[in-house]
């Protein structure tokens, strides 16, 4: 009998890892749901359990990272399908204020914190930048599960997240340039203009184009034409967003909103997108959990820094974003603040950029990593009671 080929062995290992990740995510999600806790927390903890920190069954890999990227992209795309641009525009002023204060307060707080811990000036800048980030995918999943995407607070959270991404991008560009020793003001200005122009163009032009072509889409001979066009738009705008310097997930979110505005999206399209989302999103959440390395927190300095950074990360978003949403009353302000708390993969990316540039120490990287995972775990239990009537 012939020996199995190397490709077949690797293929079997890959399938085993994908099976373990999905099974662990769904099992813990089911357990947390039965305990009336957010399923998303169980899915993240599944990554901690099966990842390098504990059982070591699965290691982060390019494949798991790719599936995670697709998962968060489809999560934001499905959220966008439930919201029309007009709904976001109605809260545009409030969302802008929330986003601005949600950048300034965490950045300043993170900078001061790292200075107090004896970090260098560039380390303090990277810490502040890591605290600026918001992973709206976590909040969006919780709000979608609770059927609250149409509430005013949820619309402000989503609108502020889009603006926050643009502002965070500019802050990261400035800090990265400072680390290299040269700030190119013209390049940063061009990036800002392209980002704003992209969001505005997609919000205005794409729905009009889809409205005119909607009838023709239904006449296509291919199976599920609306679903196919929806997927093409999702990938296309995600790609365009990355080209202009905005996160790809923002392009996917805008694609969903454009479809919601322009077409009477058939119920089967929602069902089909939901099916793809339920397949891929667990990989995104498990990947976040797998990034946490518990052994890095064994040193007392790193542990205290991670704990302090997590506390500052939560309080600064609650204070900054809550102040920006003060017009909603104390409960609405806390809802918006809690919805902007999770840093998720965005905070991890900032830390990785600093580490690759050689300006972030291993201790600081571990602390930021722990903060990103901790805020992602903390946010759902905060959001649910605040939105519960």
For the chain, domains (ranges, CATH) are 7-387 (1.20.1530.20)
What's the mean per-residue pLDDT of the chain?
A: 79
**What is the percent of the chain with per-residue pLDDT over 70, rounded to a whole number?**
79
pLDDT the model gives residue 128: 86
Q: How far apart are CA 389 and CA 372, in angstroms?
A: 29
Q: Who contacts 143 (Cβ-Cβ below 8 Å, separation ≥6)?
A: 79, 149, 151, 154, 157, 339, 383, 387
Q: How far apart are CA 352 and CA 358, in angstroms?
A: 10
Q: Hey, how many other C-beta atoms are within 10 angstroms of the C-beta on 350?
A: 27
Q: Who contacts 14 (Cβ-Cβ below 8 Å, separation ≥6)?
A: 63
Q: How far apart are CA 13 and CA 5, in angstroms?
A: 13
**What is the percent of the chain with per-residue pLDDT over 90, rounded to a whole number?**
6
Residues of the chain with pLDDT below 70 are 1-10, 38, 83-89, 136, 165-166, 169, 173, 176-188, 191, 211-220, 245-247, 261-267, 344-349, 352-353, 355-359, 389
Q: How far apart are CA 306 and CA 70, in angstroms?
A: 29
Check: pTM over 0.85? Answer yes or no.
no
pLDDT the model gives residue 27: 93
């Amino acid at each position: 009998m012939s020996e199995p080929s190397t490709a077949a062995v690797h293929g079997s290992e890959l399938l085993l890892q994908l099976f373990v990740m999905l099974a662990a995510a769904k099992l813990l999600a089911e357990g947390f749901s039965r305990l009336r806790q957010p399923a998303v927390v169980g899915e993240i903890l599944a990554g901690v359990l099966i990842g390098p920190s504990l059982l070591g069954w699965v290691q982060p890999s390019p494949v798991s990272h790719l599936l995670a990227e697709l998962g968060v992209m489809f999560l934001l795309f499905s959220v966008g399908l439930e919201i029309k641009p007009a709904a976001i525009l109605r809260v545009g002023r409030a969302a802008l204020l929330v986003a601005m204060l949600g950048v300034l307060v965490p950045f300043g707080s993170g900078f001061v914190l790292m200075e107090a811990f004896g970090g260098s000036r560039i380390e303090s800048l990277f810490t502040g930048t890591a605290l600026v980030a918001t992973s709206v995918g976590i909040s969006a999943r919780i709000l979608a599960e609770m059927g609250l995407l149409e509430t005013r607070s949820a619309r402000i959270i989503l609108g502020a997240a889009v603006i926050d991404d643009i502002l965070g991008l500019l802050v990261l560009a400035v800090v990265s340039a400072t680390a290299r020793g040269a700030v190119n003001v013209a390049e940063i200005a061009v990036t800002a203009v392209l980002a704003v122009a992209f969001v505005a163009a997609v919000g205005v032009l794409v729905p009009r184009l889809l409205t005119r072509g909607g009838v023709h889409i239904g006449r296509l001979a291919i199976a599920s034409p609306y679903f196919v066009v929806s997927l093409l738009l999702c990938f296309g705008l995600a790609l365009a967003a990355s080209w202009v310097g905005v996160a790809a997930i923002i392009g996917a979110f805008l694609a969903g909103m454009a479809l919601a505005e322009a077409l009477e999206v058939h119920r089967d399209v929602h069902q089909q997108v939901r099916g793809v989302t339920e397949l891929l999103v667990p990989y995104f959440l498990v990947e976040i959990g797998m990034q946490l390395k518990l052994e890095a927190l064994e040193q007392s300095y790193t542990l205290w820094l991670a704990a302090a950074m997590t506390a500052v990360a939560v309080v600064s978003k609650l204070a900054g974003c809550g102040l920006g949403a003060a017009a909603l009353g104390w409960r609405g302000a806390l809802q918006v603040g809690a919805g902007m708390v999770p840093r998720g993969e965005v905070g991890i990316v900032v830390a990785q950029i600093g580490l690759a540039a050689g300006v972030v120490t291993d201790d600081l990287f571990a602390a930021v990593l722990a903060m990103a995972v901790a805020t992602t775990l903390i946010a759902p239990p905060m959001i649910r009671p605040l939105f519960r009537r």
